[in-house]
Amino acid sequence: MRLVKQLPLILVSFFFSISLHAQHCPWDCCGLIMINSDLKPAEMQKLKLVLTDGNKQIVIDTLYGSSEKNADTCYIRWGEEFLAHKTSLVAANHWYAYDTMLHFCKGHYVVRYNYCKYEEPQNQLLFLRYTDAAGSFHYLPVHYSNRIHLHNYNDQIRTGQTTELNKIMEPFVMDMGKDLSKN
């Protein structure tokens, strides 16, 4: 009889302890595009490479909120620069701290964007826009096979499996040669 009286308290304690251990994936809807290029960061910077949508409008990542402090223009950055940029945003919004865990990005050009807004079933086009020496824009399509949904790699990111993630990400990486800087 005493156990029956304590059962509600035991159940509440049990479910409360489970909820403390449950973790929401911080990379739900976080998309990433990784690029290999022979271009040096200074050469790539001259191209003003940025992610655009199907209407050729620059993508502003508002995944962590749409206020001015959270809106992050989707410039393509060198991996180390990307991590430093995300670290600088942590003071404005603590969620950016999760982006600083993406160490597998080092050695690549990268951009993070809202994956769910541009996923395949919605047939949303994405382009990498670059500017040539004459100031003209050029657009390279980003195929769905080059779009990474970070949610799918939550466990590897959380546990810092950088070597494993580098292997996993290789098929997603876009290749861009030096020919872009000659336009």
For residue range 17-50, list pLDDT tens digits in order: 433 344 578 888 889 999 999 888 888 889 999 9
Using DSSP's 3-state secondary structure scheme, residue 76 falls into coil
Q: Is the pLDDT of residue 16 over 60?
A: no
* pLDDT score of 59 more than 60: yes
Amino acid at site 59: V
* pLDDT for res 79: 93
Residue 2 has pLDDT above 80, yes or no: no
pLDDT above 60: residue 136: yes
Assign 120 a pLDDT band (cuts: 50, 70, 90): low
What amino acid occupies position 78?
W
Whether the pLDDT of residue 178 is over 80: the answer is: no
pLDDT higher than threshold 90 for residue 90: no
Helix (H) or strand (E) holding 45: helix 41-46
Alpha-helix runs per DSSP H in 25-130: 41-46, 79-89
Kindly report the average pLDDT of the chain as a whole number.
82
Residue with tokens 């404005």: 92
Query: Would you say the C-alpha torsion 48, 52, 54, 55 has a positive or negative sign?
Result: negative
